[in-house]
């Protein structure tokens, strides 16, 4: 019994003490300690404190780690492919929480609600991705569909694809959403032209184009708030 206790890895006792502190008051833990506990579920047989500190040093914050590209994460010593899968699963979980919350509301009240959804789903993506929030006549969310995916600076999509998605779900309104991986949410001339064409086609078919939102990490742009729709 004494020999087995002596061979017990030191980090297991430390991790248990962290869990107990978290249960008493989660706010008392430092960022690296929260990260250390989270990493422990992906690496249960390793001391995750050094890795937690390396990740925070590299990416600056918990949000920076969540936003990091998979290849950037695996460049950090100790962050292997197995943990990268765990991290992708965690990000998907986070994105679905935001989507589920929005879909359960009675109606969309402001662009900020869609911005939060878009940021969770595509704000950290390394390539442009184009989505459409489809709503009914009371602005209740019917669906959140991807309608295009492309490169670092372009996501090919056509106005008819947006309108077709709305017609298939009997949606009366659409909020366009896409991301800018470069970090600047300001619309390009192509973004402005595309929005005008979708708006014109929507008017012909009785489909409201309510907004076009662009997200870029922690920044965003709303055509509706800018007076462009």
The full set of domain ranges for the chain reads: 2-79, 93-222
Residue located via tokens 């694809």: 161
Q: Cα–chain-centroid distance for residue 116?
A: 8
Neighbours of 14 (CB within 10 A): 15
pLDDT on residue 3: 47
> What are the tens digits of pLDDT across the range 33-48?
999 999 998 888 889 9
Average pLDDT, the chain: 86
Q: Which helix (H) or strand (E) holds 223?
A: none
- Burial call 58-69: b when 16+ CB within 10 Å, e when fewer: bbeebebbebbe
Query: pLDDT grade, residue 1 (50/70/90)?
Result: very low
Q: Cα separation of 201 and 209, whole Å?
A: 9
Q: Please state which of the ranges 83-97, 157-171, 173-187 shows the lowest mean pLDDT.
A: 83-97
Query: pLDDT grade, residue 177 (50/70/90)?
Result: very high
Report percent pLDDT > 70 for the chain. Answer: 90
pLDDT on residue 175: 96
Q: Cα separation of 32 and 133, whole Å?
A: 36
- Token duo for residue 114: 């869609």
Which phi and psi angles does 212 have, rounded to 5°?
A: -135, 115
Angle ∠(102,105,108) on CA atoms, nearest 5? 75
Which are the contacts of 117, defined by CB distance < 8 A and separation ≥ 6? Answer: 98, 99, 102, 133, 144, 177
- Burial call 193-208: b when 16+ CB within 10 Å, e when fewer: ebbbebbebbeeeebb
pLDDT on residue 2: 44
Length of the chain: 229
Classify domain 93-222 at the CATH topology level. Answer: Cytidine Deaminase; domain 2 (3.40.140)
> What are the tens digits of pLDDT across the range 82-132?
898 888 888 888 778 777 766 666 678 888 889 988 888 888 788 899 999
Query: pLDDT grade, residue 171 (50/70/90)?
Result: very high
Q: Please state which of the ranges 15-19, 203-207, 215-219 shows the lowest mean pLDDT.
A: 215-219
pLDDT on residue 81: 86
């Amino acid at each position: 019994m004494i020999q087995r206790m002596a061979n017990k890895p030191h980090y297991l006792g430390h991790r248990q003490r962290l869990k107990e502190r978290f249960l008493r008051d989660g706010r008392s833990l430092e960022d690296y300690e929260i990260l250390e506990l989270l990493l422990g579920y992906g690496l249960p047989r390793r001391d995750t404190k050094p890795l937690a500190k390396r990740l925070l040093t590299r990416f600056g914050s918990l949000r920076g780690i969540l936003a990091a590209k998979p290849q950037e994460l695996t460049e950090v010593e100790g962050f292997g492919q197995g943990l990268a899968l765990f991290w992708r699963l965690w990000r998907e979980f986070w994105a679905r929480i935001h989507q589920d919350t929005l879909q359960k509301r009675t109606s969309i009240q402001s662009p900020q609600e869609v911005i939060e959804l878009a940021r969770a789903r595509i704000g950290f993506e390394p390539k442009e991705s184009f989505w459409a929030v489809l709503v009914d006549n009371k602005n209740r969310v019917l669906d959140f569909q991807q309608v295009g995916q492309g490169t670092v600076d372009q996501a090919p999509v056509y106005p008819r694809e947006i309108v077709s998605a709305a017609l298939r779900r009997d949606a009366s309104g659409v909020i366009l959403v896409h991301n800018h991986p470069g970090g600047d949410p300001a619309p390009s001339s192509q973004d402005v032209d595309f929005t005008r064409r979708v708006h014109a086609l929507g008017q012909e078919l009785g489909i409201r184009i309510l907004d076009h939102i662009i997200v870029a990490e922690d920044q965003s742009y709303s055509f509706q708030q800018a007076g462009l729709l």
